[in-house]
Amino acid sequence: MGKFNFIKTEIEDLYIIEPAVFGDSRGFFMEIYNKKEFCDSGLTVDFVQDNHSKSVKGVLRGLHFQRRYPQGKLVRVIKGEVYDVAVDIRKNSATYGKWVGVYLSEENKRQFYLPAGFAHGFLVLSEDAEFCYKCTDFYHPEDESGIIWNDRNLKINWPLDKVDGVKLSKKDEGWGSFAEEII
């Protein structure tokens, strides 16, 4: 077995990745990224930036994307639990407008790979969560856009029963619908 289990989702190029975890009474070790193994699995990516955020329960970040400088992302949770969502915004894709959600936590150690061309967001389910992600392009604040988290046409099944309300930033409150933002 390799160091990673690459699980295909129903959307092409979108993967759940389970790293091999080597643990004993002292703790554990795992690789987060291995260029050769990713390339051997068809994921030829070049990461240029790493980000780390901390959020409290009920915080929903997203759904974010960049228009001219789209970012592929390898995301994971190092503390707590989130429900992570990727929406296919690749106009020529057979799954355009479809989404996949996955639970990521410090316990399951799963990662989620989103290629460029996806809107991304997550909902914090634990008391707090620390979220890390590698990006294939640099962040360009002037290029950032988004889709409202509760878009009626996307019908994302957020696990709202696990939080006491959603906490949004002013920016995330102001995004338009999928039809309005993806032009």
Query: Rounded CA gap, 147 and 120, in Å?
Result: 9
pLDDT score of 181: 83
pLDDT digits (tens, 9 = 90+) for 8-48: 999 999 999 999 999 999 999 999 999 999 999 999 999 99
Tens-digit pLDDT profile for residues 75-117: 999 999 999 999 999 999 999 999 999 999 999 999 999 999 9
Q: Right CATH number for 45-181 from 2.60.120.10, 2.60.200.20, 3.30.70.1060, 3.40.50.720? A: 2.60.120.10
For 117-127, write each residue's pLDDT tens digit.
999 999 999 99
Domain edges within the chain: 45-181
- HSE-up of 167 (CA within 13 Å, CB side)? 11
Cα–Cα distances in Å, from 10 out to 19, 107, 109, 135, 154? 20, 24, 21, 22, 16
Residue 140: active-site member: no
Catalytic residue among 64, 83, 113, 120: 64
2 pLDDT tier (thresholds 50, 70, 90) = confident
Question: Residue 76's beta-bridge partner residues?
Answer: 111, 132
Q: What is the pTM of this model?
A: 0.95
Report d(CA 33, CA 22) in Å as an integer. 15
